[in-house]
């Protein structure tokens, strides 16, 4: 029998690590524990399954337990790892179906436990009728509740990406929806001026926004079920069902208990090869911290894209190869109602916190040549470092065919390009796709003008 690798968590990071390690070293004995009912699925797709845009739960699963097993991975479903003993090099597990328990020894361990939903410590937060949306099992429970036919009013607590996506999904189903958030504009990672555009789109869809007013309690009825959300200002919002969309935090309970070091962000501390400070212990996915390439800070970013890449890196290294994860720059994209929104790099608040001195540029344009049928409005915002003109961040908000332009700017930021270089990019042009000056180039030109004007003032 070859070296034994135990993987804790069977979603994006864990599944990728297990697959890569076994692919490179077929002699490895790989055991993967997953407490849920599915492996390697798209949690990001849950809102679209709720809305009906995605036809089935099965469509969200990239690789089933049977497919993992066919690749030689010993998958233990509905089995939760409840403890890690680093001295004995073993994990303790509990079968959630039959109640059994046991110990599995390892030579190498991959910690890929993901994240857990943020739950504010307010009265009623654990009442029946309050749903999280973190794992596929959460989506199954929420879909079943909505399909039951007894829900007319939904209150979503949290106006971030997942909160607004769930709000839209419920609105598509014909429900009355209210979103409550402590911030003055939705999705706080966007600058407020861009957030206002998102807020307008949400309201146009018929979704009520209650902003700058955090949840204070979940009111319950005589049956103990959630019946209302009470805000800090005292406002009471009736609800047949409450969804928590407050974001997530890294699930590090097992790591902390075992003595696996955590970083300043609260996630598991790893190096570029996804190694922890404990020999033979690796970590990847939503539970780890990553280096932001612009701010230099260690942050936790819960995205399936990073989880898959980090799991792949860990698996390659466990399998005898060499790979690194070079960090993140905060690229994200979403579609809320009829608006697409995307960002990359630093927002104004993040740039200030990182100590940058910068100028900004905002332009309004169209997605196609203005005279071409179907041209839609688009706004592009850029941040450029003073003096150097280095592109620090960008945000895009607009109608259909707007937001994926962010990928071009993410590449520019990744390669530390200045806005003068960006405005000279050889981007494609034809009237059905963009104006002769693409909005990205117009924004770069305006940002370059702002950099030059700032230099002249010195």
Q: Which helix (H) or strand (E) holds 195?
A: helix 192-204
* 153 and 176 Cβ atoms separated by less than 8 Å: yes
Of 30, 112, 124, which is closest to residue 68 (Cα–Cα)?
A: 30
For the question of residue 337 being annotated catalytic, the response is no
| Alpha carbon separation from 170 to 103, 182, 258, 423 (Å, rounded) | 43, 21, 41, 41
User: What are 334's two structure tokens?
Assistant: 């979403």
Helix (H, G, I), strand (E, B) or coil at 13: helix
* Rg of the chain on CA atoms, in Å: 23
Query: Which residue is catalytic, options 44, 170, 337, 412?
Result: 44
Of 139, 143, 144, 164, which is closest to residue 45 (Cα–Cα)?
A: 139
Are β-strands 176-180 and 208-210 bridged in parallel, bridged antiparallel, or unpaired? parallel
What are the backbone dihedrals phi and psi of residue 27, each rounded to the nearest 5 degrees, phi first?
Answer: -80, -5
* 184 and 212 Cβ atoms separated by less than 8 Å: yes
Q: Which residues of 434-448 are buried (b: 16+ CB within 10 A; e: fewer)?
A: bbebbbbbbbbbbbb
Residues known to be catalytic: 44
């Amino acid at each position: 029998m070859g070296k034994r690798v135990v993987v804790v968590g069977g979603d994006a990071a864990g599944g990728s690590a297990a697959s890569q390690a076994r692919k490179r070293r077929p002699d490895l004995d790989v055991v993967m524990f997953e407490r849920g009912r599915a492996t390697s699925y798209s949690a990001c797709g849950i809102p679209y399954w709720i809305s009906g845009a995605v036809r089935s739960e099965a469509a969200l699963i990239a690789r089933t337990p049977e497919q993992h097993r066919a690749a030689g991975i010993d998958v233990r479903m509905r089995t939760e790892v409840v403890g890690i003993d680093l001295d004995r090099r073993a994990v303790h597990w509990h079968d959630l179906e039959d109640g059994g328990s046991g110990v599995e020894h390892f030579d190498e361990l991959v910690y890929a436990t993901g994240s857990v939903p943020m739950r504010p410590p307010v009265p009623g937060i654990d009442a029946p009728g309050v749903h999280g949306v973190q794992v596929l099992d959460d989506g199954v429970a929420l879909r079943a509740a909505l399909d039951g036919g007894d829900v007319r009013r939904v209150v979503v607590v949290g106006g971030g990406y997942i909160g607004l996506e769930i709000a839209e999904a419920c609105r598509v189903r014909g429900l009355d929806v209210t979103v409550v958030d402590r911030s003055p504009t939705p999705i706080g990672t966007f600058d407020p001026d861009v957030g206002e555009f998102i807020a307008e789109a949400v309201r146009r869809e018929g979704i009520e926004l209650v902003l700058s007013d955090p949840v204070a309690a979940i009111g319950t009825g005589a049956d103990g079920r959630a019946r209302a959300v009470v805000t800090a200002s005292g406002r009471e919002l009736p609800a047949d069902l409450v969804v928590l969309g407050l974001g997530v935090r890294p699930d590090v309970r097992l790591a902390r208990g075992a003595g696996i070091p955590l970083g300043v962000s609260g996630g598991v501390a790893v190096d570029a090869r996804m190694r922890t400070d404990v020999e033979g212990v690796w970590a990847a996915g939503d539970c780890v911290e990553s280096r932001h390439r612009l701010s230099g800070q260690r942050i936790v970013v819960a995205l399936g894209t990073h989880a898959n890449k980090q799991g792949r890196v860990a698996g390659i290294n466990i399998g005898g190869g060499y790979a690194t994860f070079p960090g993140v720059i905060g690229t994200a994209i979403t579609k809320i109602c009829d608006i697409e929104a995307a960002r990359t790099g630093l927002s104004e608040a993040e740039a200030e916190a990182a100590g940058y001195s910068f100028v900004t540029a905002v332009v309004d344009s169209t997605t196609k040549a203005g005279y071409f049928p179907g041209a839609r409005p688009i706004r592009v915002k850029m941040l450029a470092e003073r003096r150097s003109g280095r592109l620090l961040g960008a945000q895009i908000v607009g109608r259909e065919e707007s937001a994926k332009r962010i990928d071009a700017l993410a590449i520019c930021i990744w390669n530390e390009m200045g806005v003068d270089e960006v405005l000279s990019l050889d981007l494609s042009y034809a009237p059905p796709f963009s104006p002769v000056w693409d909005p990205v180039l117009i924004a770069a030109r305006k940002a370059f003008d702002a950099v030059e004007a700032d230099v002249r003032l010195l």
